[in-house]
Copies of this chain bind each other. A is one copy, B any other.
Amino acid sequence: MIQKECKYWIPGHSIDCVVLGFENNILKVLLLKMRHSEKWSLPGGFIKKKEDLDAAALRALSDRTGLKSIYLSQFHTFGAYERRGKSEVDRLMHEIGQLNKTVAQWLSNRFLTTGYFAFADVQKARPVPDFISEKAEWVAIDELPTLIFDHLEIINKALQHIKLKLNYLPIGDALLPPKFTMAMLQKLYETILGRALDRANFQKKMLKLGIFDRLEKLKTGAANKAPYLYSFHRKKYERVLKEGIGYL
């Protein structure tokens, strides 16, 4: 069935998704472990002959995560001639060739790839490996394993891009659970920006935006004051996001 599908795909162009999640105050990325190799790869896919590029990315994403509505945005197209590395392509195609010659042949050609980044709720996502990988997992962004091809470069470019457009991206809404504390939101900003932020000032700056609903307190059982939980006020959130939120 994969074999037959090759005919329905545009040749020479792939999609790679940098899917980010936030769990236990750690930023994570969804990765696939290759079969017959110690390397990992980004979830990706190909474009059907009559399919929009964006639609293909959405499809790839929903195939790997089971999620349909998700924040997704294109950030860069990678087109260096030898971006996949000659020896690595050879080795990989040898492995795949054992399973399916047609597919291996098709994959061994040159590929441009368009990178998308996405924000997913780690709780809701159900990672599913594709046919050339053996498992799909969330991996902490600062403990990345060895990746195939230029996938590390793709991840780094995605993070750089996100950092730059941070103020216009719905990171809070898309990466946090419906109810969250200011400390969680702050940690999220800190990991993405890569620097510490002042607790008091962060809180005041955020609250002044007027996009939060303050909810009940969260009792953690720890020996300290219980923090408030917050949720985003949809309408206000979207209005403010257009103008840009937070830190530059």
Residues of A at the B interface (CB closer than 8 Å) are: 10-13, 47, 49-54, 56, 74, 76-81, 110, 112, 114, 164-165, 168, 248
Contact = CB atoms under 8 A, between A and B. Distances in A.
Given A164-B165, A165-B164, A47 B79 contact: yes
Contact of A79 (B12, B52, B78, B164): B52
Given A12-B12, A12-B13, A49 B110 contact: yes
Contacts of A47: 79
Contact of A80 (B12, B52, B164, B168): B52
A55 to B, nearest CB: 8
Given A13-B112, A110-B10, A77 B49 contact: no
A167 to B, nearest CB: 9
Contacts of A50: 81
Nearest to A111: B10
Main secondary structure, interface of A, reads: mixed
Nearest to A165: B164
The 10 closest A-B pairs by CB, nearest first: A53-B79, A77-B77, A52-B80, A52-B81, A77-B114, A50-B81, A10-B12, A51-B81, A248-B248, A52-B79
Contacts of A110: 10, 49
Contacts of A13: 12-13, 112
A113 B89 CA distance: 25
